[in-house]
Structure 1
Amino acid sequence: MWRNLWKSPQANEWDDSFIPAVAAYVCHARAIYEGGASAWQAQEMRHLGGQLGLTPAGMLSLGWVIRHEQ
């Protein structure tokens, strides 16, 4: 997941200051996918996903548009 996130189109907008947020997102996601997450972890993952531009709402709030070349 870490490598995939850093290869995503959104990663083009991230600098090294995003490393802790991406790491926290990965940790929370892992806990969720393994079935051991608490409600606050799920909420934090959702919040971080928006801040990182990983959701449509997050991208909209950041003013990001991913253009697909044809």
Structure 2
Amino acid sequence: TLPEMIRRLKQDPTDWYAANKLDPPVVAASDPEIEQAQKRLKGPLERSKEDVEAATKRHRSRTLWAPMT
């Protein structure tokens, strides 16, 4: 589970990255990840209530008839 993965990562990061065949500098500092982080930090850290309601409405309209198919 995710909590167990996080616990093991925190317990021994070096071995965790090795066991999962990951290169820490590449994973933590890849150009796409850095660009995405910079974009996220420019905007609000949380979505507004209006954004959440609009996303919920869009999702509901796409799935409203799913049980009928």
Settle same-fold status: TM greater than 0.5.
no
Higher CA-based Rg? 2
TM-score, scaled to structure 1: 0.29
